[in-house]
Amino acid sequence: MIKPKIRYEDFAKIDIRIGRIIKVEDFPGAHKPAYKLWIDFGPEIGVKTSSAQIVKNQTKEELLKQEVACVVNFPEKQIGPFKSEVLVLGPDDGTNDESNWIILSPIKEAPLGSVAR
């Protein structure tokens, strides 16, 4: 189902940037299967953390050094003992299981902190 249309001005408020995953850990304290991610967005933004429910389609080894698209201007969210500072973007894999989504990644390497549109 397609959600109601928004104006471009609404979309422009979302700051989507490219970062590189530099550290991945299991997150056993999460309610649903998840990883803890540390993502480097370059010198302007720095390293930010995220909790991502992506364990069924990506291994920790596959994620390490992977570039990802993230929303960097949402408020921080406390998830148990871990602070999630950015939202990693990606589609679900069609199973409608929140732990089965796949990260969005550029097909060519992009400068860290690049704006995604």
* 12 within domain boundaries: yes
The pLDDT value recorded for residue 92 is 85
Per-residue pLDDT of 1-11, as tens digits, reads 788 899 999 99
Q: Which domain holds residue 18?
A: 8-88
* 93 within domain boundaries: no
* 113 within domain boundaries: no
CATH number of the CATH domain containing 53: 2.40.50.140
What confidence category does residue 103 fall into, taking pLDDT thresholds of 50, 70 and 90? very high
* 49 within domain boundaries: yes
Counting the structural domains of the chain, the total is 1
* 114 within domain boundaries: no
* Other CB atoms within 10 Å distance of the CB of residue 93: 14
* 75 within domain boundaries: yes
Q: Please tell me whether residue 10 adopts helix, strand or coil conformation.
A: helix
Say how far apart CA 86 and CA 17 lie, in whole Å: 10
* Other CB atoms within 10 Å distance of the CB of residue 101: 21
Per-residue pLDDT of 55-96, as tens digits, reads 988 999 999 999 999 999 999 999 989 999 999 999 988 887
Token pair belonging to 93: 């894999």
Among the listed residues 82, 66, 65, 83, the one whose alpha carbon sits nearest the alpha carbon of residue 74: 83
* 106 within domain boundaries: no
